[in-house]
Amino acid sequence: MQVQPGVAGGSAQRKYEELLRSWRRRNRRVFVGLALVCGLIVLASLLLARIWPGQSWLLGCFAGGAATFFGVARLSPPGWIENWQLGAWGEEATAKALGPMEAEGWVVVHDLPTGRGNVDHVVVGPGGVFLLDSKRVGGSVVVEGEVMTVRRLDDPELVYRHPGSGHLLGLARETHERVLRSTRIRVWVQPVMVVWAEFPQRKVQGRCAFVHGEELAEWLRAQPQRVAPARVPQLVAAVRLSWDLSDQASTVTHGG
């Protein structure tokens, strides 16, 4: 089975839409009842507007408000579902930031399946191989060590730690080992958390780098050259091949 990259945010967007449909199905009776109530308000407003033309503007507001309320209700799933939509938007923003670099010889692959999820972005260029995870969070971000702490803007006492860097480090290490096994190419894969939020530090270098999305392109360009331009296509193919071989091995193992 050949692994094919997708569009930025594609997996997250599909997951959001899948969960949204499931949530609506589970709450079908609620939405049917709400549709009936809102529909009656709209119908009554239209009928009353014919009886009292002088109140047409006010009655129109009632009708518009009822229709808007129903629409908003259907588009307001729980926060854990909306997070998938935010994730897709973050990946799209990263893709837009990386776009100009492709004309400079960098290769960008989005939404690369790994068999147990996906890699948001893989970037290969003179600075090496970079594994990117886009994070769009609602709050102010501070990075200490390899821990990203998010403080809610509207409630500074509400703080939580984002656990994503550990998973990203593991993916980068696994990608490095698979590329080495399948092609004998020895190149470190740098994990990068791309932050779309209020992030005063802007850039934090470490085993896992944290970079504000607006700084990403310049940060990548500033990395010391580790790869000859002629080897960039070979490295991109090696990264894809490493996951192809992994998927094939997984298929054989489970099939036996």
Task: Give the pLDDT score at 97.
Answer: 93
Start-end of H helices in the chain? 10-26, 28-51, 56-74, 79-102, 164-183, 216-221, 232-255
Instruction: Say if residues 88 and 16 touch (Cβ distance below 8 Å).
Output: yes
Mean pLDDT of 208-225: 93
* pLDDT at position 122 over 80: yes
Mean pLDDT of 8-24: 84
Q: List phi, psi (to 5°) of 140.
A: -100, 130
Q: In terms of Cα–Cα distance, which of 208, 25, 235 is closest to 125?
A: 235
Task: Give the pLDDT score at 186.
Answer: 77
Percent over 90 (pLDDT), the chain? 18
**DSSP annotation of 224:** P
pLDDT tens sequence across 124-164: 888 888 999 998 888 899 998 888 888 887 777 788 887 76
Angle between helices 10-26 and 28-51 (to 10 degrees): 80
Mean pLDDT of 90-94: 91
pLDDT tens sequence across 167-208: 888 888 888 887 777 667 777 889 999 999 999 999 999 889
Percent over 70 (pLDDT), the chain? 89
Mean pLDDT of 206-225: 93
Residue-wise DSSP of 58-74: HHHHHHHHHHHHHHHHH
Sign of the CA dihedral 221, 225, 229, 233? negative
What's the whole-model pTM score? 0.77
- Rounded to an integer, what distance in angstroms lies between the CA atom of residue 220 and that of residue 213? 11
- The amino acid that residue 83 corresponds to is N
